[in-house]
């Protein structure tokens, strides 16, 4: 029969335990009375979709390998006149580092992020919905964000680099020939009046505004300040997006996505209260109510300022300025990206190794419409 | 760890063959040296006959010293033989040094990496050097019985032992967590170092019991400290280690024995640990008393205990193809037994008249010691020469690419555009050796590495580089404009390399060059890199292809990159000589 410890020893143990608990509690107690709320954890991903005049494009990583050099990013298109998806990944460059795409001026520009020994970003441009590609060159590393490239109506192209520098190519031909000029560095942007005002920490997306001026967006240290800046005649100015500190903008604000829409821009922001969409018409901003952002791992924009986000088996969409977030039915397993379809319909592109399955939302249910077997070149980048 | 890893398999047949060949060559040289020394000694003996038995004033060597000298001499020779195992040249740095250092602090890893890098750059020379140095030290200890030669052998043992202890054993793991006497702490070779230091003592020191008492006191303190350390060990650590050792390739009965003990230690971990702690503490206390009777009991118990640990925990230490020594228990047994003998020198010395007579042939012993020293130099000299050279042995490149093909055929001419927009034909490069390869400017793996190898070749060639043109032809059907060749040059730091040409042209022009040189280039779907075979050709100043080799950089470690550069440089020099 086992016996418990003597009462004196037991008392000593209890005392010690209490002392330890007290110490532990003391160690864990907050020392500051004010804490800045950080934006929720949103896993950065290049998986996204976008819509151009040529069709709807989607980018997803495939391969299913634990080794990054055996996972390859793929570009798919659902052409404007077709209901089916095709793989149109540009050839000639290993894209294990990721793909970034932007549409405009009747073309789609794709940038290859560096990987392994490659330190700069080749580009590929298509004007025929991915049937043919023209090589281009950015002699620097493209940033790891879906908004790292923007193409203006005139063909002027912006590229956000890994170090936060923004470069510009005046025409599509310049972009192809690698003739880029620096537009702003992160340091210069942070030192500008609006950059200082918001405490700019980093740039995450570039675009063109309604007046075709370059726009840069990022993360600000000052609570409630959204870092969206526009370049007017060589001077960076705030685009005027400020969120009330007590409301949805509480805490720091991170711009996750930015795109040009007819007559303005749309942005997706991560704030202390969640993820929200914002629309700019050139003079004022409209901001949506927040939606829970935890677990979000992919997001993108559709036509007319619509947007979507995906994470943890759930998907939310918003139709445009003045509308509210709508939860879609739970997405099929393996869904990597959503792509807007006709009306309020969406396609869910699910990845399993080298197989892509397209599910289409109809009458509040997902139905399988297509399967693509991608010839992933395992071992080719090892 | 950077640098240490050659990336090649320890059993790579090219490396193994080169290692075996080096050992055979050096063995033949050693044999010739020994025969020469023997002849020299025989001639000297004829000229000046050896002292007859019974003359001279030589006294017998103390028995304790004899045990240390011969015991550790045999151990060094045995370790040297282990170093001759086929996988040792290619595997010691990655399979032995690196894993041992992995759990040590950063500064230890940094230091070990420095040594491991030297090994991985010259695996054959380093492997062979270890064999001859250890066999040489062992032989030297055995044959040099008396006098300065013998004490010098002890000092050599200390020096080499410290090198092995630091680089090969990462200081015996004393800075790493989980230190345990059972598994070899504080490093088997540290015991060799202690023994070497004792052998290097003046011989008079062995004629008084004080040396024995001090040695045993030191060992006693060591055992007590190890007992304390063992008492703090985490439960389950021992059984985990033994189970791990059981997975080493070895005879089944041994692995069964180890697995059985691992299960036992898992079930009765606390009891096993308690027994070990008590045994270590008891041995330590007995040695500390310095009383011969107690020490004798402790010695015999220690021998049994250490042998049990050697079999059940250390798994003999020599199995698996990469065992470098029998671990710590055997040398420890020799050391504390010598301590016991040193405690009672008078008794044993009286029983040693035979060895006294043996010691009266100093001439033969000196010649043999000189032979042993020559063996050490035979290993150390090529390694020292290789270590001074900061480039790697070309054997690594040969192991990756296979033997190059010697040719003597005209190089197909072409006319392409260089990175600066100038037209360059192969014919315009006549008079120079052309090292030519095919590179994809947007390649993510091999091409940048091959470019670095070419760049390094140019640097290695020194003044001769002026007679060598480093040429790459674009190997990508899509990304092939001069904008890309220039971007690649900037990425790889090739813009300032003299005589570097990165040539491109229309798809038709490039296609013709690829076809003529047997390079298959094609785009692959689904985000893959354009495929092409890695090829390098050496074209002599007369425009004839002299060598063709696969330039696939393999594991692309710093040593293999350097190795390829050396190989390409050698071929360039050959082509220059042939012109």
**What's chain A look like in SS3?**
CCCCCCHHHHHHHHHHHHHHHHHHHHHHCCCCCCCCCCCCCCCCCCCEEEEECCEEEEEEEECCCCCHHHCEEEEEEEECCCCCEEECCCCECCCCCCEEEEEECCEEEEEECCCCCCCCEEEEEECCCCCCCEEEEECCCECCCCECEEECCCCCEEEEECCCCEEEECCHHHHHHCCCEEEECHHHHHHCHHHHHHCEEEEEEEEECCCCCEEEEEEECCCCECEEEEEECCEEEECCCECCCCCCCCCCEEEEEEEEECCEEEEEEEECCEEEEEEECCCCEEECCCECCCCCCEEEECHHHCEEEEECCEEEEECCCCCCCEECCCCCCCEEEEEECCCCCEEEEEEECCEEEEEEEECCEEEEEEEEECCCCCCCCC
Distance CA B279, CA B298 (A): 9
A96–B contact, CB cutoff 8 A: yes
Nearest to A145 by CA among A199, A91, A87, A98: A98
Quote the CA–CA distance of B239 and B259 in Å, as a whole number. 9
Distances (CA, A) of B252 to A69, A295, B319, B325, B326: 40, 52, 12, 21, 19
Q: Tell me which residue has tokens 């977030």.
A: A325
Residue A182: φ, ψ to 5°: -65, 135
pTM (two decimals): 0.83
Distance CA B537, CA B411 (A): 9
Inter-chain residue contact A118 with B443, CB threshold 8 Å:
yes
pLDDT band at A18 (very low <50, low <70, confident <90, very high): very low
Q: Which residue of A has its CA nearest to B452?
A: A117
Give the C-alpha separation, B185 to B172, whole Å: 6
- Mark yes or no for CB contact B481/A133 under 8 Å: no
A120 and B487 in contact by Cβ < 8 A? yes
Residue contact B526–A120, C-beta within 8 A: no
**Which of A75, A91, A99 to probe by mutation at the B interface, max B CB count within 10 Å?**
A91
Residue A379 lies in a domain: no
- CB proximity A122 to B under 8 Å: yes
| Tokens describing residue A94 | 């290993």
Q: How far is CA B30 from CA A306, B70, B271, in A?
A: 83, 22, 52
Q: In which band, very low, low, confident or very high, does the pLDDT at A4 lie, cut at 50, 70 and 90?
A: very low
Residue A208 covered by a domain: yes
Nearest one of A93, A128, A89, A92 to A107, comparing CA atoms = A128
Domain map (residue ranges) of chain B: 13-49+64-388, 395-578
Query: d(Cα B251, Cα A242) in Å, to the nearest integer?
Result: 75
* A375 vs B443, B525, B529: nearest CB: B525
Vertex B237 angle, CA B231 and B242, to 5°: 120
Burial of B243 (0-12, 13-18, 19+ CB in 10 A): middle
Name residues 175-234 of chain A within 8 A of B (Cβ): 177-178
Which chain B residue is nearest to residue A99, measuring alpha carbons? Answer: B527
A94: contact with B, CB 8 A cutoff: yes
Task: Label each residue of B481-524 as H, E or C.
Answer: CHHHHHHHHHHHCCCCCCCEEEEECCHHHHHHHHHHCCCCEECC
Cα separation, B374 vs B46, in Å, equals 24
Domain span at A295? 48-373
For chain A, the distance separating the N- and C-terminal CA atoms, rounded to the nearest angstrom, is 64
Q: Which of residues 460-499 of B touch A (CB under 8 A)?
A: 476-479, 481, 483-484, 486-487, 490-491
- Kindly state whether residue A26 falls inside one of the protein's structural domains: no
In the predicted model, what is the mean pLDDT of chain A?
Answer: 87
Contact B481 A96 (CB under 8 A): no
Are the C-beta atoms of residues B320 and B248 closer than 8 Å to each other? yes
What does the DSSP 8-state code read for residue B529? B
Residue of chain A with shortest Cα separation from B490: A139
- Spell out which residues of chain A touch residue B484, defining contact as CB-CB under 8 Å: 122, 135, 137, 178
Could you name the CATH architecture of B395-578?
A: 3-Layer(aba) Sandwich (3.40)
Q: Is B531 on the interface with A (CB under 8 A)?
A: yes
A41 vs chain B: nearest CA distance in angstroms?
Answer: 29
pLDDT at A254 over 50: yes
How many distinct structural domains can be found in chain A?
1
- CB within 8 Å: A377 and B528: yes
What residues have CB less than 8 Å from A283, skipping those under 6 apart?
Answer: none
At A163 the pLDDT is 95
Residue A245 or residue A91, greater confidence: A91
- Asked if A119 has any chain B CB less than 8 Å from its own CB, the reply is yes
> Of B102, B292, B89, B78, which is closest to residue B178 (Cα–Cα)?
B102
Q: How far is it between the farthest Cα atoms of chain A?
A: 89
Summarize pLDDT for A109-127 with one digit per residue, the tens. 999 999 999 999 999 999 9
Instruction: Assess contact for B379 and B129: CB atoms under 8 A.
Output: yes
CB distance B153 to B144 below 8 Å: yes
Q: How far is A162 from chain B (nearest CA, A)?
A: 15
The nearest CA of chain A is from the CA of B8 a distance in Å of: 16
Pairwise CB contact (< 8 Å): B523 & A120:
no
Interface test with chain B among A118, A139, A372, A373, by most B beta carbons within 10 Å: A118
Nearest CA in chain B to A119: B491
**Contact A117/B449, CB-based, under 8 Å?**
yes
Which residue is listed with tokens 């070497």? B196
For A252, residues 6+ apart whose C-beta sits below 8 A from its C-beta are: A36, A37, A38, A39, A219, A220, A221, A222, A223, A271, A272
Instruction: Please tell me the distance from the alpha carbon of residue A337 to that of residue A50, in angstroms, as a whole number.
Output: 11
In angstroms, rounded to a whole number, what is the distance separating the alpha carbons of residues A341 and A371? 17
| Cα–Cα dist B555/B320, whole Å | 24
Contact B60, B359 (CB under 8 A): yes
For residue A30, is it within any domain? no
What Å distances lie between residue B327 and A64, A359, B181, B183, B324, CA to CA?
Answer: 44, 63, 11, 8, 8
Contacts of B384 (CB under 8 A, 6+ apart): none
Nearest to A92 among B449, B478, B490 (CB): B478
CB contact under 8 A, A116 and B444: yes
With beta carbons less than 8 A apart as the criterion, state whether B288 and B224 touch: yes
Residue A29 forms part of a structural domain: no
Considering only CB atoms, which chain B residues are within 8 Å of A174? Answer: none
- Could you tell me whether strands A85-87 and A72-79 are parallel, antiparallel, or unpaired per DSSP bridges? antiparallel
Residues of chain A contacting B479 with CB distance shorter than 8 Å = 92-93, 122, 135
The pLDDT value recorded for residue A27 is 33
CA separation for the pair B290, B296 (Å, rounded): 10
Burial of B345 (0-12, 13-18, 19+ CB in 10 A): buried
Closest-CA residue to B474 (of B456, B460, B488): B488
For residue A1, is pLDDT > 60? Answer: no
pLDDT of A7 > 50? The answer is no
Cross-chain residue pair B529–A74, CB shorter than 8 Å = no
Would an 8 Å CB–CB cutoff place A120 in contact with chain B?
A: yes
Chain B residue closest in CA terms to A374: B526
Chain B residue with the nearest C-alpha to that of A117: B444
pLDDT at A174: 93
Q: A278-330, pLDDT tens digit by residue?
A: 999 988 999 999 998 778 899 999 998 999 999 877 899 999 998 999 999 99
Question: Is A56 at the interface with chain B, CB within 8 A?
Answer: no
Going residue by residue through chain B, which has 579 residues, state the pLDDT in tens, using 9 for 90 and above. Answer: 555 667 788 899 999 999 999 999 999 998 998 888 888 888 877 766 555 554 444 567 899 999 999 999 999 999 999 999 999 999 999 888 988 899 899 999 999 998 898 899 999 999 999 999 999 999 999 999 888 889 999 999 999 999 999 999 999 989 988 888 888 889 999 999 999 999 999 988 988 889 999 999 999 999 999 999 988 887 777 788 888 888 888 888 888 888 888 888 888 888 888 999 999 999 999 999 999 999 999 999 999 999 999 998 888 888 877 889 999 999 999 999 999 999 886 544 544 555 555 555 557 777 888 889 999 998 889 888 888 888 999 999 999 988 889 899 999 999 999 999 999 999 999 999 999 999 999 999 999 999 999 999 999 999 999 999 999 999 999 999 999 999 999 999 999 999 999 999 999 999 999 999 999 999 999 999 999 999 999 999 999 999 999 999 988 899 999 999 999 999 999 999 877
Do residue B527 and residue A116 have CB atoms under 8 angstroms apart?
Answer: no
Nearest CA in chain B to A123: B479
Helix (H) or strand (E) holding B407: strand B405-410
CB-based contact A115 B523, cutoff 8 Å: no
Q: Is B532 on the interface with A (CB under 8 A)?
A: no
Q: What is the pLDDT of residue B107?
A: 93
Query: Is A144 within 8 Å of A119 (Cβ atoms)?
Result: no
Instruction: Check if B452 contacts A (Cβ < 8 Å).
Output: no
Distance (Å) of CA B101 to CA A266, B97, B162 = 54, 6, 16
H or E, element range at B133: helix B123-143
pLDDT of residue B4: 64
The angle formed by the CA atoms of residues B197, B201 and B204, to the nearest 5 degrees, is: 155
User: A33 versus A284: which is more confidently predicted?
Assistant: A284
Domain with A359 in it: what CATH number? Answer: 2.130.10.10
Q: Is residue A282 included in any domain, yes or no?
A: yes
């Amino acid at each position: 029969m086992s016996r418990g410890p003597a009462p004196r020893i037991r008392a000593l143990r209890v005392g010690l335990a209490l002392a330890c608990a007290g110490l532990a509690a003391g160690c864990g107690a907050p020392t500051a009375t004010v804490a800045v709320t950080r934006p929720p954890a949103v896993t950065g991903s290049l998986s996204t979709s976008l819509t151009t005049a040529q069709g709807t494009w989607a980018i997803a990583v495939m391969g299913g390998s634990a080794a990054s050099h055996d996972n390859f990013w793929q570009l798919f298109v659902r052409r404007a006149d077709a209901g089916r998806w095709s793989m149109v990944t540009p050839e000639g460059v290993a894209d294990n580092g990721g793909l970034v795409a932007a549409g405009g001026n009747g073309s789609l520009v794709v940038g290859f992020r560096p990987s392994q020994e490659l330190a700069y970003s080749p580009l590929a441009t298509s004007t025929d919905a991915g049937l043919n590609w023209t090589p281009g060159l950015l002699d620097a590393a493209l940033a790891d964000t879906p908004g790292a490239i923007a193409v203006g109506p005139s063909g002027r192209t912006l590229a956000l680099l890994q170090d936060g520098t923004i470069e510009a190519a005046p025409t599509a031909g310049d972009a192809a020939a690698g003739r880029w000029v620096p537009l702003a560095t992160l340091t210069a942007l942070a030192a500008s009046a609006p950059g200082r005002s918001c405490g700019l920490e980093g740039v995450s997306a570039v675009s063109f505004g309604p007046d075709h001026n370059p726009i840069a967006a990022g993360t600000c240290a000052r609570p409630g300040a959204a870092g969206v800046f526009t370049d007017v005649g060589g001077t960076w100015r705030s685009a005027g997006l400020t969120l009330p500190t007590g409301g949805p903008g509480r805490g720091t604000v991170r711009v996750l996505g930015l795109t040009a829409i007819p007559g303005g821009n749309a942005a997706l922001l991560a704030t202390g209260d969640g993820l929200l969409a914002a629309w700019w018409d050139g003079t004022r901003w409209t901001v949506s109510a927040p939606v829970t952002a935890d677990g979000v791992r992919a997001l993108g924009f559709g036509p007319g300022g619509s947007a979507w986000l995906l994470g943890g088996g759930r998907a939310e969409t918003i139709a445009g300025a003045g509308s509210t977030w709508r939860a879609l039915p739970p997405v099929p397993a393996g869904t990597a990206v959503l792509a807007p379809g006709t009306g309020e319909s969406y396609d869910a592109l699910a990845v399993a190794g080298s197989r892509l399955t397209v599910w289409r939302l109809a009458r509040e249910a997902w139905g399988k419409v297509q399967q693509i077997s991608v010839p992933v070149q395992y071992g080719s980048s090892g | 760890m950077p640098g240490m890893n050659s990336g090649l398999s320890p059993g790579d047949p090219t490396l193994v063959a080169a290692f075996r060949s080096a050992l055979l060559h050096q063995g033949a040289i050693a044999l010739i040296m020994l025969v020469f020394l023997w002849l020299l000694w025989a001639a000297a003996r004829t000229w000046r006959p050896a002292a007859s038995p019974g003359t001279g004033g030589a006294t017998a060597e103390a028995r304790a010293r004899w045990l240390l000298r011969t015991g550790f001499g045999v151990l060094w020779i045995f370790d040297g033989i282990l170093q001759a195992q086929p996988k040792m040249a290619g595997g010691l740095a990655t399979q032995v040094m690196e894993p041992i250092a992995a759990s040590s602090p950063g500064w230890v890893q940094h230091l070990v990496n420095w040594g491991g890098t030297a090994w991985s750059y010259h695996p054959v020379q380093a492997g062979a050097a270890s064999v001859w140095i250890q066999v040489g030290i062992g032989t030297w200890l055995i044959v040099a019985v008396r006098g300065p030669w013998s004490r010098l052998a002890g000092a050599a043992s200390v020096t080499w032992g410290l090198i092995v202890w630091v680089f090969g054993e990462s200081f015996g793991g004393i800075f790493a967590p989980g230190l345990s006497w059972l598994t070899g702490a504080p490093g088997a070779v540290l015991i060799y170092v202690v023994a070497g230091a004792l052998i290097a003592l003046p011989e008079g020191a062995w004629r008084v019991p004080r040396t024995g008492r001090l040695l045993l006191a030191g060992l006693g303190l060591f055992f007590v400290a190890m007992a304390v350390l063992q008492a703090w060990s985490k439960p389950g650590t021992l059984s985990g280690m033994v189970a791990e050792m059981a997975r080493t390739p070895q005879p089944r009965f041994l692995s069964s024995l180890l697995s059985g003990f691992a299960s036992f230690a898992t079930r009765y971990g606390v009891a096993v640990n308690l027994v070990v702690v008590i045994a270590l503490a008891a041995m330590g206390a007995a040695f500390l008393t310095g009383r011969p009777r107690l020490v004798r009991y402790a010695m015999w118990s220690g021998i049994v205990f250490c042998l049990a640990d050697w079999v059940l925990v250390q798994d003999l230490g020599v199995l698996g193809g990469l065992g470098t020594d029998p671990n710590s228990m055997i040398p420890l047994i020799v050391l504390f037994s010598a301590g016991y003998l040193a405690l009672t020198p008078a008794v044993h010395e009286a029983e040693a008249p035979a060895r006294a007579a043996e010691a009266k042939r100093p001439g033969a012993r000196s010649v043999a010691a000189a032979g042993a020293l020559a063996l050490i130099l035979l290993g150390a000299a090529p390694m020292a020469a290789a270590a001074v050279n900061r480039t790697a042995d070309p054997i690594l490149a040969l192991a990756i690419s296979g033997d190059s093909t010697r040719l003597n055929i005209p190089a197909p001419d072409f006319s392409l555009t260089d990175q600066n927009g100038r037209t360059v034909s192969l014919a315009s490069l006549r008079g120079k050796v052309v090292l030519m390869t095919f590179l994809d400017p947007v390649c993510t793996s091999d091409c940048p590495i091959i470019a670095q190898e070419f760049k390094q070749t140019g640097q290695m060639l020194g003044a001769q580089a002026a007679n060598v043109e480093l040429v790459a032809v674009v190997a990508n059907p899509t990304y092939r404009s001069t904008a890309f060749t220039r971007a690649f040059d900037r990425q790889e730091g090739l813009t300032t390399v003299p005589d570097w040409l990165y040539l491109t042209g229309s798809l038709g022009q490039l296609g013709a060059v690829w076809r003529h040189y047997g390079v298959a280039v094609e785009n692959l779907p689904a985000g893959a890199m354009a495929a092409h075979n890695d090829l390098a050709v050496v074209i002599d100043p007369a425009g004839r292809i002299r060598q063709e080799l696969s330039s696939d950089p393999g594991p692309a470690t710093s040593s293999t990159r350097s190795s390829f550069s050396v190989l390409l440089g050698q071929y360039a020099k050959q082509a220059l000589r042939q012109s």
